Structure formats: C-alpha cells, structure tokens
Amino acid sequence: MADQLPDLIEEVVASDDLLEDTNIANTIAATDAENIALLLESIPLEARLISWQQVPNAKKLDVLVEMRGDPRTTVIESTPLEEWENIFQNVDAEQLLEISDTLPNKLLDIALAAMGKQQRQFFQDASEYKDDQIGHWLNHDVLVLPINAKVRDGLRLLRRELPETTECIFLLNRTGQFSSAVKLSSLFGAPEHLPLVELSEEDITVVKAEQDAVQAAREVQNSGFISLPVVDDANKLLGRVDIVTASELVNEDYERQIMSSAGMDEDEDLFSSVRTSARKRAIWLGINLMTAFMASWFIGLFEATLQEVVALAVLMPVVASMGGIAGSQTLTLIVRGLALGQITKSNQKALLDKEVKVGLLNGFIWAFVVGFIAYLWFDSSLLGMVIGIAILLNIVSAALTGVVLPVILSKLKIDPALSGSVILTTVTDIVGFVAFLGLGSIFLI
C-alpha cells in the first residue's frame, strides 16, 4: 500500500477537477486509514478538504486518529456539524483520547454522547492522567480471570472474539489487583483442571499508570511481550499498553525531538496556510534574532579593533562556527543519552572529562590548521596565533556547554532538544567573537 502512496498523491494534486473525479474517490475509498492520513497530510489545503469529503464516513474516524495534529485540525474545521454524529457512531475511548486535543468542546460533547457508559468511564479515567503519563494511553480491552481460574475457564474465554494484540490473560485477585499473566499459547495442551496460575509468566513487567508515557512505551518495545499490564497506585489493573500504541508513542517522541531542533513540533503541517505557518515559525525566528543581536552587541564592543584589522571581520565567522559544530556534536550525544535514561550524576562527570579531552585534542588540531591557513592568507603569524587560540578556547568551551547545558535544562523540565541548540550557539558565538576579537585587540593593534 505504501508503495502506491506517491502515485496517489501525484494523481490527486494533478487532477483538474478533483470534486468530480470518481476514479480518485474510488481509490481513496479502497485505501487504508493510515495511508489516507498520509495522503491528506501531503496535499495542499484545498485538495485536502475535497479528498476528505471523498473518504467513506465509516473510515473518517480512523483517518482522524492517524493524522498529525495540525493537518487534522484543518479537516475537522471543514467538516459540517451534522456529519459528526455519523462519524462518532462507534467511537471508543482510545480513539477519542487520540484526537481530543484538536477537538472543539462542542464536538467532544457529541462524541461523548455517542459513547456507551463504559467507554465514557474509560475516557474520564484516562483524562485524569496527563498525556505524558502512560495512564492516558491505555487499551481497556483486556482478558481477565480470577486468580483461582482453571485452564478450562481460560479456554472458554478464548471462544469469544479476542481483542487485537492480545497475548495474555491477566489474573486478578478479589479486589481487582493484578496478580499474574498467562500466555494464551500456554493453554494449548495443558490439562483442563490445572489452575491457570501455575502457567504464569515469571518475568512480565507491571507498568504504573503514572509512569512517563515514552519510558513505559520503550519498556513494552523491549519486553518481548505484545502488551504489558498497567496498574494504579493500589496495584488495581486499569488496562494494558500494547506494542502498537507503544510504537506510536515512541515514534512521536522521536519526531518531536527532530522537529524541535528547528523550533517546530511534531504536529506541524506540510501544507498549513501561509499565515499560520509564518506565525508559528516567527516565534523561533524572533528568539534567534535576540540571540543574534546579543552576539552582535559583543562584536560592537570591538568596533575600533575591527576598523584597524579588517581580517578579523573576515575570519570571525570561522571561529564561531567551529565552536557551534563541535558543541552541537556533544549536545546531540548527551540529549540522546538523556532520552534513553543513560545520564546520571556520576557518569556526567566522566562524560564531561571525556568530552573536554576530545575538545582539547580537536581544539589543538583545528587551532593549528586554521591558524596556519590564516597566516598564509593574511601573511601574519600573529593573526594565525590569535585565531588558533580563539578556536581552541571556543571548541573546549563548546564541549563543556554541550555536556552541562542539556543536563541543567532537563532538570529545569525544559526540553533540551528544543532550546539546547539555540542556547549553545549563543554561547559559542559569544565566546568565539569575544575570544577572537579580544585577543586581536591585545596582540594585533
């Protein structure tokens, strides 16, 4: 299916009269929800809204669930109020939770009204956890039996239609507390009167509902199980987190990291309107402008020097950028380590030690190279020395900043993937300019 996505995008964008094109409408109707979602995200707004109308009503909810936040909002806003009752006909708690942050209150009410009592309860339970807690993302479709159940009871349970991604029966004690898990596959061939508890898996991890969502999702991915049980503080079984949801959470977290390095978020729309796009990005440009002016202000302190030794103006971007690059390498490594839970107090010291040494080694090498080139270019050994020392200082302080900054930011609950690189480049710009121009003022005038 994914193979055909580019072709479908081509066809839709190239179509002269999308509104009347029954050929495309039929293709869309035959495509699965995930690929319809990718299609809608990939086409300009006008074509998107027409194509959205051509999605069969029965698939619309699944498509909404699969779409990223911003493009989803555009199709939600274009859908007439009277259609929603139809769209929400079979909505369940998990689907509603996926899209609720982009849903106006009016539509949320329609969805809640369409739900059965139990699903509504699930929705409310989940809403009590924040969306970065795993309790927000539970699958409530679980197979449970009392702890004294026998293989016979298990086999009877399996005769009804099984929920997707189900691999275990969870055994609960009288008060609903999770006791253990039995793989469905252990039931085959087992004697009918055997207590299920004797077939329990020994090493299944139990997840707490208030645990960090991404961390819990990674645990599912690494567990070897298809889903893990989730309990509340009192060990009461609330549901499970399955590997499909887990993968979505982990993928979203990676996309957030990638997008936030450019000051955007994972919901960003390829084809948002020009105004929305410009407004969202303006904030990041504005923050960056402030830091750029800060760097300029430091350069301004050396106006007199620059006037006398114009070679400093020519070479100063080299100093700043070498620091920026070296720092971003350290920063990227540490941010990944933080995301994987690998950075602690004591290994941070060891890391700082190692990164500063790497900075010293690379600093000396590049100080020499850049110094030599500058000497050849401007025929001044003093200039070569000045830029060499500035490069060395900047690369070493970049290494220091690259280790310390993300750790501090994450302690302050500020996302280091988002703000780390702006702050780092501000530091390396300023250190670079001040070191280079400052040394220049001393030795070259």
224 binds a second copy (CB under 8 A): yes
Q: What is the DSSP string of 274-331?
A: HHHHHHHHHHHHHHHHHHHHHHHHHHHTTHHHHHH-HHHHHHHHHHHHHHHHHHHHHH
**Which amino acid is located at 262 in the chain?**
A
Cα angle 332, 252, 48; round to 5: 125
Name the minimum Å distance from CB 242 to a second copy: 10
CA distances from 149 to 9, 30, 180, 198, 205 (A): 53, 44, 12, 10, 22
Minimum CB distance to a second copy, residue 354 (Å) = 6
Q: Which CB, 1 or 58, lies closer to a second copy?
A: 1
195 binds a second copy (CB under 8 A): no
Site string for a second copy, 316-345 (x = CB under 8 A): xxx-xxx--xx-xx-xxx--xx--xxxxxx
| Calpha distance 337→335 (Å, rounded) | 5
**Selected binder of a second copy within 49, 108, 358, 389 (CB under 8 A):** 358
- Cα 255 to Cα 278: distance, rounded to the nearest angstrom: 21
Which is closer to a second copy, CB of 130 or CB of 349? Answer: 349
Closest CA to 92 of 121, 119, 56, 131: 119
Instruction: List binders of a second copy among 153-192 (CB under 8 A).
Output: 155, 158-159, 161-162, 164-166, 184-185, 188-189
Name the token pair of 102. 């982009």
How big is the site for a second copy, counted in residues (CB under 8 A)?
Answer: 116
The footprint of a second copy on residues 33-62 (CB under 8 A) is 34, 38, 41-44
Q: Per rule CB under 8 A, is residue 350 in the interface with a second copy?
A: yes
Interface residues for a second copy in 90-109 (CB under 8 A)? Answer: none
Please, which residues bridge with residue 231 across strands?
208, 237
Give me the amino acid identity at 70: D
* Comparison of 147 and 226: residue with beta carbon closer to a second copy: 226
23 sits near a second copy (criterion: CB under 8 A): no
Tell me which amino acid residue 375 is.
Y
Q: How far apart are CA 189 and CA 150, in angstroms?
A: 13
Judged by CB under 8 A, which of 56, 104, 116, 300 binds a second copy?
300
Candidate ranges 75-83, 117-125, 193-201, 213-221; the one touching a second copy (CB under 8 A): 213-221
* Site string (234-253) toward a second copy, x via CB under 8 A: ---------xx-xxx-xx--
440 is an interface residue for a second copy by CB under 8 A: no
